[in-house]
Amino acid sequence: MEQSKSMSMCTPETPQVTHVFDIFGYSKRRGMGNEKFIRSDTFSAGGYDWSIRFYPDGFSKEVLDKDFITVYLELMSTGVKVRASCDLRLLDQRTGQSSSVHKTELRTFNPADGTRFFPRTNEFKKKRDVESAFLLNDRLMIECIVTVIKEPRVTESKPFPKIEVPVPPSDITEHLGKLLEDDEGFDVTFCVRRKAIGAHRSILAARSHVFKAELFGPMKEARTLRRVTIKDMQPDVFSALLHFIYTDSLPDGDKNADMIRHLLVAADRYAMERLKLVCQSILCQNLNVDTVATTWALADQHSCDKLKDACLEYIACSNAMDAVVETQGYKNLKVTDPSLIVDLLESTKKIRNA
């Protein structure tokens, strides 16, 4: 099933504007009276018009409160509702730093009612605090930061980009093979027919549970074992086994039938199932009259059912039984294990009669 992926993006539109209302001759504004204000020039933020109202004597519908000044942000645009946040600040002219007095989170400004103003309280800041900390040369500076939240911008849907990063084939077996080849870091030595062959215990244990039990078993001798004697195996066969353990492949030039038979025995001994299958595959491709009986017996001894079937098919389909019985391998098998001969003959007859 063909699969595709597309994508679109939603990005917020949040324009932010800072407006400074610079008031000179502050003292001349005092005494204007309750509800009297000075309005800043209109400024734009997010495509809407705003202004700052400054009440030198405070704003109160009931009494004149000379202890506070009042400052409002007002939405001047009409016929709209605007989602915005606001931070009203006073600027310290000595340091250039501003201090927040009233700050609102996101809210809706509606010019049709009282929500067009911010903040809702009439008590912006006490006069004595303003005049002692923020008034300089009869000048007061009010800073207003307006952030408008507009409808998010959504891009058109487009196909998800197909980015293909080429990955080279795995080279771990190459590095492990180099580790074996360079004789570095060996922590166990195998004595095979008086030949010393080094290896790494951890790698062997990871690849074969037989090696793991032998090298890391519960017995104290196994946990500290550094030298192991290998019986009933040729050094070149054991070396080929190690090569497969480290590289998952056979050494170049070690694919003659005799070596492969010995390697199959080693694979069965150390429970290397993949190596065992590789050996069976090679032997199946190289069956001939002289070796088929010996190969059949080897397959039976090491539970290689696929290889046994291949031997029987070869004998039955090629009508080579007469030639097989004349081979030395068949004669040796007849002496060492006559029951296998009977089994071979009966199985071949069944295939022919099928």
Please report, for the domain that includes residue 140, its CATH number: 2.60.210.10
- Is 80 domain-assigned? yes
Which of 257, 286, 315 is the last residue in one of the domains? 286
Residues 268 and 203 in one domain: yes
CA distance 186 to 262: 25
272 and 340 part of one domain: no
Domain that holds residue 148: 10-153
Q: Which of 113-122, 162-171, 213-222, 301-310 has the lowest mean pLDDT?
A: 213-222
Asked if the structure places residue 222 within a domain, the reply is yes
Domain count, the chain: 3
Q: Tens of pLDDT along 38-76? A: 999 999 999 999 999 999 988 875 544 568 889 999 999
CB-based contacts of 170: which residues, under 8 Å, 6+ apart?
none
pLDDT at position 317: 67
Is 21:54 a contact under the CB 8 Å cutoff?
A: yes
**321-349 average pLDDT score:** 68
Q: Considering the chain, what percentage of its residues have pLDDT values greater than 90?
A: 47
Which ranges of the chain would DSSP assign to H, the alpha helix? 26-29, 127-133, 172-181, 201-207, 209-216, 220-223, 235-247, 257-269, 273-285, 292-301, 305-318, 321-324, 328-336, 338-353
In this model, does residue 162 exceed pLDDT 90?
Answer: no
Task: Give pLDDT tens digits for 266-300.
Answer: 999 999 999 999 999 999 998 888 888 888 889 98
Residue 242 has pLDDT above 90, yes or no: yes
Number of Cβ within a 10 Å radius of residue 55: 23
Is the confidence at residue 229, as pLDDT, over 80?
Answer: yes
In a domain, 165, yes or no: no
Q: Are 144 and 73 in contact (CB under 8 A)?
A: yes
Domain identity same for 245 and 354: no
Examine the pLDDT at 4 and tell me if it is beyond 70. Answer: yes
Vertex 181 angle, CA 207 and 222, to 5°: 45
- Asked whether residue 127 falls in the same domain as residue 139, the answer is yes
268 and 180 inside one domain: yes
- pLDDT value at residue 347: 64
Supply φ then ψ for residue 169, to 5 degrees: -65, 155
Tokens of 265: 């025995």
Per-residue CA distances from 158 to 2, 94, 127, 258 (Å): 17, 54, 58, 63
Are 233 and 133 found together in one domain? no
d(CA 199, CA 228): 11
Does 149 share its domain with 176? Answer: no
Candidate from 5-14, 131-140, 315-324 with smallest mean pLDDT: 315-324
Do residues 15 and 148 both lie within one domain? yes
Is residue 82 over pLDDT 90?
A: yes
pLDDT of residue 63: 47
**More confidently predicted of 338 and 50:** 50
Q: Does residue 250 lie within any of the structural domains?
A: yes
> Does 353 lie in the same domain as 282?
no
- pTM higher than the cut 0.75: no
Distance between CA atoms of residues 330 and 292, nearest Å = 9
Instruction: Name which of 21-30, 184-193, 241-250, 314-323 the model is least confident about.
Output: 314-323
Tell whether 282 and 292 lie within a shared domain. no
Q: What is the pLDDT of residue 113?
A: 87
Residue 310 has pLDDT above 80, yes or no: yes
**310: domain CATH number?**
1.25.40.420
- The string of pLDDT tens digits covering residues 102-155 is 998 889 999 988 888 888 777 788 889 999 999 999 999 999 999 998 887 777
Q: What is the pLDDT of residue 277?
A: 95
Asked if 90 and 99 count as a contact pair (C-beta separation under 8 A), the reply is yes
* 160 located within any domain: no
Q: What is the mean pLDDT of the chain?
A: 85
In a domain, 158, yes or no: no
pLDDT at residue 262, rounded to an integer: 95
Band (pLDDT 50/70/90 cuts) for residue 220 is: low
pLDDT of residue 156: 78
Tokens of 3: 């699969």
Does 189 reside within a domain? yes
Q: Is 215 exposed, middle or buried (0-12, 13-18, 19+ CB in 10 A)?
A: buried
